[in-house]
Amino acid sequence: MKQQLFLTVFTLIVLLVSCQNKQDHRSKTPADTNAITQENSGEGVPYDIVKGYFVKNTVSEKNLENPKIEDEETFNQYFGAATTMGEEGKPTTIDFTKQFVIAVIEASTEHLTTIAPISLANTGSDQLTLTYRVEKGEKQSYTQRPVLLLVVDKIYNQEVVLEESK
């Protein structure tokens, strides 16, 4: 009888402990956040951060000659969809009839590296300036190709200049 009571209590404790909300222990990086529509300096231009894409292995280690991508065919030459399970795992939908993409690609690295946008500003003379910061972290056991993709409405369709903040 005592053994049966002990097993019942033990089972209840295990159930209660396993049903508690678990904290997410993954590290949060700027690439994980969903910060959208930032306006900082100058005449701020709204943008959304594109999630769920990776740089294809066929892309050279140099950054793109032109960071602005205006059509789906060109976009698909450089990037592939990285779909994962769940609602959060779907790649951002891009409507190239109404939007264009600004891409910042860094060289492959063994360090945890993120590219964080600081501002996207209309600096005059038909020019947008994207200021961004590269954050390098600890060494990993694999290489990654850091990328930042922003989607911008075509009403702001101008030449794009990249400026890395040190």
Q: Please write the tens of the pLDDT for every residue from 105-150.
A: 998 999 999 999 999 998 877 899 999 999 999 999 999 999 999 9
- Tell me phi and psi for residue 66, to 5 degrees: -125, 115
| Tens-digit pLDDT profile for residues 139-163 | 999 999 999 999 999 999 999 999 9
Sequence-ordered list of residues with C-beta below 8 angstroms from that of 38, at least 6 positions apart, any chain: 44, 46, 47, 117, 119, 120
Whether the pLDDT of residue 69 is over 70: the answer is yes
- The residues spanned by each domain of the chain are 29-164
| Tens-digit pLDDT profile for residues 9-32 | 556 565 555 555 444 433 333 333
Encode 129-151: b = buried (16+ Cβ within 10 Å), e = exposed: bbbbebeeeeeeeeebbbbbbbb
Which single residue is written with the structure tokens 């294809």?
56
